[in-house]
Structure 1
Amino acid sequence: MTAARVVDAVKTYGTGDARVRALDGVTVGFPAGRFTAIMGPSGSGKSTLMHCAAGLDTLTSGSAFIGDTELGTLGDRQLTLLRRERIGFVFQSFNLVPTLDVAENITLPLDLAGARPDRAWVDGLIDVVGLGDRLRHRPAELSGGQQQRVAVARALAGRPDVVFADEPTGNLDSRSGEEVLRLLGRAVHEMGRTVVMVTHDPVAAGHADEVVFLADGRLVDRMPEPTAQKVLDRMKAFDGTRDAAYGLPSAQGAAS
């Protein structure tokens, strides 16, 4: 079963000589119950792919689906409802509401939708993210890693079909980033969710079940059972960038 997919996806920006083809005929599916990472050099179209697959942006041509629902057939209100009810989001900048405490931030999407939280599910999430003793704290009283764990719990609170995570460890130190990646992995393998993550970091991608590679707006490779070293080697083949540019001190260090 496929949680999300795009078919012959084309996305262009600008006109005339300034026209940029960010996606160039991409067809790719993201399996349900799996953790998929999207990688590629800067400008490869990876964030554009995620935004279009998640209904945050519209395709110039082609189709995007959540389950069997084609996003292009939905009006604005229907699309808003679909994103609210079937999709979770985790962003690099956390996007927590500073005036709300942890418990209120976690249930915020459900509260906005007028939905009653499944208390057992939410309590289980709070236990999984390890923030039971921080529920009455506000974001400013938390570390960056704790804030991102709140954001992951918020994304999962409504039991979405798929969670899209855009560079979720980009603002975190390596230890906090590792905690968030393990949490996303647990959401997939222990809680049955689906996660699609955009990242530039081979270490982060190594936590996924599969990595999808883009280059110049096209799908160029898929890697099952990735490791940080295998991903780094594949990325270096794209542009010859040094190890440190992808978050690793050296190829030897990545392998250790």
Structure 2
Amino acid sequence: MTTAVPTSGPTPASVPASAARVVDAVKLYGTGDTRVRALDGVSVDFPAGRFTAIMGPSGSGKSTLMHCAAGLDTLTSGSAFIGDTDIGALGDRRLTLLRRRRIGFVFQSFNLLPTLTVAENITLPLDLAGERPDQEWLDALVDTVGLRDRLHHRPGELSGGQQQRVAVARAFAGSPDVVFADEPTGNLDSRSGQEVLRLLGRTVRQTARTVVMVTHDPVAAAHADEVVFLADGRLVDRMPDPTAERVLDRFKSFAPPPLAQAVTA
């Protein structure tokens, strides 16, 4: 995969100190004896122009945090912001427009449309919004993900790593304020996963874009500028400049003993 990264392109409309944040976030599922407190008063910001990883044991609330911060789910109480916009105050239509124009998504399952070509999948969010892509920016992204010779192929003709690179390009195509990535390497082999993580990191650092990534993998988290740790629905620590070894050691201290042993193994 080429190492070229776009160094210009459309700039987000505003660049506040935090690209996204939640304040006193509480998320409850169920009622009565079956009620689960997935988030328990979490306040955390995701700085603009930075790559932040969210880690925690299974059931810690990390995916719930990402989904609520991205407007894919609603908080029971508390607030979630994209830039200075309180997304909890938006109606369905305005929230849909905000997600389409200011947020990008990369998922473990790629979520590409099999009947569309690579080029069409990349520009799909812009097409749905009725917006024309910045061609110079789009060309730079295509070269960055190394798929110039695959633009007319369909997802079924690509490897898993290539499909995820399409998903990354699609997430950045509209120059969103923040890209949320949920276990983006979960379906990839180690080599393809490392390529995708390097791509995310370089794009953040060389274009001032923002990525928030949920992962269970200390090696993946080490690509971030900072790691946020959750346990039992609470924010328990933050680690700047992580390494895989430091992340693993910290993660083991929060995880239940059987899980900690499994991670070590």
Q: TM-score, normalised by structure 2?
A: 0.92
Alpha-carbon deviations, 1:157-196, whole Å to 9, x = none? 0000000000000000000000000010011011211000
What is the CA deviation profile of residues 205-256 of structure 1, one whole-angstrom value per residue up to 9, with x for unaligned ones? 000000000000000000000011111111111223567844x7x6xxxxxx
Q: Which residue of 2 aligns with 1:141?
A: 157
Task: Tell me which amino acid in the other structure corresponds to 1:118.
Answer: D
- How far apart in 2 are the matches of 1:73 and 1:169? 33
* Counterpart pick for 1:225 among 234, 238, 241: 241
Q: Are 2:56 and 1:40 aligned?
A: yes
Corresponding position: 1:89 with 2:105:
yes
Residue by residue over 1:84-115, the C-alpha shift from the partner in whole angstroms, topping out at 9 and shown as x without a partner, is 00000000000000001100000000011110
Aligned mates of 2:65, 2:85 — CA distance in 1: 17
Count, aligned residues: 248
The answer as to whether partners of 2:106 and 2:182 remain within 8 angstroms in 1 is yes
Matches within 5 A, 1:106-255: 106-238=122-254, 239-241=256-258, 245-246=262-263
- % identical aligned pairs: 81
Work out whether residues 251 and 260 of structure 2, in 8 Å CA contact, stay in contact via their aligned partners in 1. no
Task: Note the alpha carbon deviations across 1:14-60, whole angstroms, 9 max, x for none.
Answer: 00000000000000000000000000000000000000000000000
Q: Which one-letter code corresponds to 1:139 in the other structure? A: P
Unpaired segments of 5 or more residues in structure 2?
1-16
User: Is the partner of 1:4 in helix, strand or coil?
Assistant: strand
Partners in 1 of 2:214 and 2:94 — Cα distance? 25
Distance in 1 (alpha carbons) for counterparts of 2:130 and 2:156 = 27
For residues 106 and 125 of structure 2, the distance between their equivalents in structure 1, rounded to whole angstroms, comes to: 13
CA distance in 2, matches of 1:241, 1:51: 27
Partner of 2:69: 53
> Letter of the aligned partner of 1:213 in structure 2?
F
Determine the C-alpha separation between the residues in 1 that align with 2:111 and 2:260. Answer: 30
Aligned to 1:254: none
Please identify runs of 4+ aligned residues in structure 1 that moved more than 3 A.
Answer: 240-246
Matched residues in 2 for 1:242 and 1:108: separation?
Answer: 39
Moved more, 232-241 or 211-220: 232-241
Paired residue type of 2:54: I
RMSD: 1.1
Code of the aligned partner of 1:202: P
Find out whether 1:103 has 2:98 as its counterpart.
Answer: no
Deviation at 1:197, TM superposition (A): 0.1
C-alpha separation between the residues in 1 aligned to 2:211 and 2:108?
15
Q: TM (normalized to structure 1)?
A: 0.95
Q: Which residue of 2 aligns with 1:68?
A: 84
**Residue aligning to 2:8:** none
1:66 deviates by 0.2
Answer yes or no: is the 8 Å Cα contact 2:21–2:44 preserved in 1: yes
Distance, in Å, in 2 between the alignment partners of 1:167 and 1:241 is 22
